[in-house]
Every structure is written in C-alpha cells, then in structure tokens.
Amino acid sequence: MNATSITAVTGGITAATGYQASAVACGLKPSGLDLALIVSDPLASAAGVFTTNRAVAAPVVISKNQLSLSNGKARAIVVNSKCANACTGDDGIRAAQLMVTEAAMALSCEPQHVLIASTGVIGMRLDTQKVSSGIRNAVKQLRPEKHLEAAEAIMTTDVSPKEYAVSVETSEGVFTIGGMVKGAGMIEPDMATMLGFLTTDAAIEPAILNRALREITNRTFNAITIDGESSTNDTVFILANGSSGVTIPETENTDLYKALVLGLDSVCSWLAREIVRGGEGATKLATVTVTGAASDQEAQRAARFIANSPLVKTALHGEDPNWGRIVAVAGRSGVAFDQAKTEVRIGSTTLFANATVMAEQETLAAAHLAGDEVELSIDLGTGGSGTARMWTCDFSAEYVHINADYRT
C-alpha cells in the first residue's frame, strides 16, 4: 500500500467540503439546543447501521425505508433529542414521517433524500409542532461553522459534545472525514445507545460505503459497552458527497479503499472511546484485550462478558486489582478456556499465569488502576490465535443516581 497520512483537523461533522450544519432550541428540552440538521451539497451517497434491538423506534423504521427508496442517496439528516419517539405506535410513525416532509419542503429536496434520528425518553410523544418549527428555523441557520452546536443539540445525559475529524492524504489526493456522536448510557455492542453521524467528501458508491461502514462499526462502535443495555434508536449514518474529487474504487483490495478504512477507523475509534470516557458516572476508560482464544468470535464473546461484568466494573471503580473476577467471568462466558495456561494482566503487570498467583505484584497493578485510562488483559490459554478488544468503563454510584432520576 502507498503511504497514507492521517491528520486530525477541526470542524467535526462539517470538516469535509460541501457540508453545513445547524442547531436550534425548539422546546423539546426545558432549555438548550435539541434539534440538529446536517446538509450536504451536492446529493451524497448514504449508508446506515441500526439497532439490533427488536423494539425499534419510529425514526429507525422510517430511515431504513428512506435508504431503500433512495438507493442509498441522501441530502440531509435531521436529529432531535429529549424524545426517542419509540413505542409510540402509528402516531410515532406519522411524527417521524412529518420530520422527513418538513425537512424536504424547507430544503427543496426529494423526501426520500432525508434521513432522521431521535434520542431521549422512550414512550414520549414527539411534539410535531415544535419539531416542524425547529426544522424550518434550522434550515435558515445552516453554516459550516455550526458543527459544535449540532453536536451539542443531540446530547441527552452526555457531559460534553463529541466530534472529531481527520484529513486523509493519499497519492491520489486528499479527502476529509468528520463525525459526531452522542451516547452516555444504555451502551452495549450491536450497537450502543448511540447516535453517530459521519461525513466525507470522497466519492463512494453506496454499496462500498455500506461495506466500509459496517466493517468499521464492528470494530469501533460495536466494541464499546457502558452498562450492557442496548437501545431502540441506535443509528450510525455516513454521507459521501465526492466534493474532494477523490473517488474510492468499488473494490476493497485497493490503496484508496484501505485509506478510507484507515480514516474511518481513526475517527470512529476516537469517538467510540469518548462515548465510554463520558459514560454516565464513569471515572475510568478501560481497554479489555482477549488473546489466545480459539477464534476471534470466541475472543469477542469473552471480552464482552468481561467488559459488561458489574463485578469487574465495580472493582475498576474501587481500584482493586481483583484479577480473579476477570478469570471467573471469562470462565462463565462459555468459550474454550484452559485455566492451567491462562494469564491475566492489569496494565503491564502479570497477576496470574500458569496456575500461579503473583500476589506480590498487586501493588503495581493497583497503581495502574489509579489512573483514568486502564488496561485489562487475559490470554485464554487455548493456544489459538483469536483476539478481541473492547472499551468499557467503571460503575460508580453516580451511574445509579443518573438513571434513577432520568425522567425527573
């Protein structure tokens, strides 16, 4: 592969050429921004991945249909916070469809070229009058510099907006990828309770864009967990409008496709880690690494069990190097596992290996856990080449307080 250079740039969701954004307070929240709009000129290729929860919100139903009707093309994405528009029956579907209609009219574009997403309280009816007015106002305020406000408008219990962008320099030219996400609770792989939006000015056919998005989602947004809960509204969209003049070929085994994947991985990995870092009540970002599994799938299963374990996560919060909990959780995950050859590390410190406990090393491990970024590693001892990585966080009393009071 020819050398590809990835450089962080400012601008978030509008860093790429041809994108504008806006954000308004339309009254869904008691105060603050609660509706965001992202628009591409020209019409862009589009792809999306959605929640695997069988309880599906109205905007997910509508947006899936939109991508099918448009053959993977879009001009705009409308996002509201505070109200998930989930479990709202036919009224919810009508409200979601109205978001599409209002945006299409205000932008003078085809209705099938509008995608939508919602986040917030499940079961709450979407106030269509407020949303319709908000969409019209948002169209009037579209600007490339409104990227941070857009990231703020989609927040629920997030403590800060999350945006990131990179410039990808290749021998064939330079293109940009930008993104923004929200998510702080109900975060679990497949996907998290998260909304994610990505833009690029590379030209990419919808089929290859969809393939790249799924590849990257599986190793970033599907590799995070905060509390083991998935949502009704999880969505990640990507738009590619071709304004850079760089065209990604319709085959995977090319330098440009690999450059696209590298750029997407850089943006999505950063955003995924920030979701976990900003998790409800979180004080630590933890990387869980599993090696020596019989397959990557088994490694992923073990990593997910460890990353979701309340016992492991509370030990993280207490800065307790309780390696036994990691072994116990790996053992109950149901994957191939040889306890006699298992090795557990916290940071770079080995605490258990070849059935031997290294108690004298716990002080070093505890010192590592005192940091705000920590690493937990286990080799399952099967001799296999399966590996996996997940990001998680600790469980604190603050997580309980936030979710006990979520609707009040």
> What is the arithmetic mean of pLDDT over 271-281?
83
Query: Is 90 exceeded by the pLDDT of residue 188?
Result: no
Across 334-354, average pLDDT: 97
356 CB-near residues (< 8 Å, 6+ apart): none
Give phi and psi for 373, each to the nearest 5: -130, 120
Reduced to 3 states (helix: H, G, I; strand: E, B; else coil), residue 202 is coil
5-277 sits in which CATH class?
A: alpha beta
d(CA 92, CA 111): 18
pLDDT class of 218 with cuts at 50, 70, 90 = confident
Residue 189's pLDDT is 43
pLDDT score for 297: 95
Give 57-106 as a DSSP string: -HHHHHHHHHHHHTTSEEEEEEEE-SB---S-HHHHHHHHHHHHHHHHHH
Confirm whether 5-277 and 285-404 share one CATH topology.
Answer: no
Structure tokens at 86: 């989930």
Is the predicted pLDDT of residue 402 greater than 70, yes or no?
Answer: no
> Domain 285-404 is of which CATH architecture?
Roll (3.10)
pLDDT attached to residue 251: 84
Q: Does position 222 have pLDDT exceeding 50, yes or no?
A: yes
CA dist 350 to 47, 322, 382, Å?
43, 12, 18
Q: What angle do CA 180, 186, 188 make, to 5 degrees?
A: 80
In sign, the C-alpha dihedral spanning 259, 264, 266, 269 is negative
- The DSSP H or E segment spanning 219 is helix 206-219
Q: Does residue 242 sit in helix, strand or coil?
A: coil
pLDDT in tens, 260-273: 999 999 999 999 98
274 φ, ψ (degrees, to nearest 5): -70, -30
pLDDT of amino acid 228: 52
Which of 17, 176, 193, 199 is flagged as catalytic? Answer: 193
- Which pLDDT belongs to residue 365? 98
Amino acid at 284: K
Among the residue ranges 36-50, 146-160, 313-327, the one predicted with the least confidence is: 146-160
**Structural domain boundaries of the chain?**
5-277, 285-404
Q: How far is CA 89 from the centre of its chain?
A: 27
Confidence of residue 190 (pLDDT cuts 50, 70, 90): very low
Q: Give this prediction's pTM.
A: 0.86
Mean pLDDT of 361-373: 97
Residue-wise pLDDT for 119-138, tens only, equals 998 999 999 999 999 999 99
Cis peptide before 191 (omega within 30 of 0): yes
Q: What is the pLDDT of residues 225-259, one digit of tens each?
A: 765 545 577 899 999 999 999 999 988 889 999 99
Burial (Cβ within 10 Å: 0-12, 13-18, ≥19) of residue 71: exposed
Confidence of residue 108 (pLDDT cuts 50, 70, 90): very high
Q: Are strands 373-379 and 173-182 parallel, antiparallel or unpaired?
A: unpaired
Contacts of residue 25, Cβ cutoff 8 Å, sequence gap at least 6: 31, 32, 33, 34, 35, 134
Share above pLDDT 90 across residues of the chain, in percent, rounded to a whole number: 81
Locate all alpha helices (DSSP H) within 220-361, ordered by sequence.
Answer: 255-277, 296-308, 310-317, 323-332
Report the SS3 class of residue 308. helix
Average pLDDT over residues 394-402: 79
**pLDDT value of residue 74:** 98
| Annotated catalytic residue 193 | yes
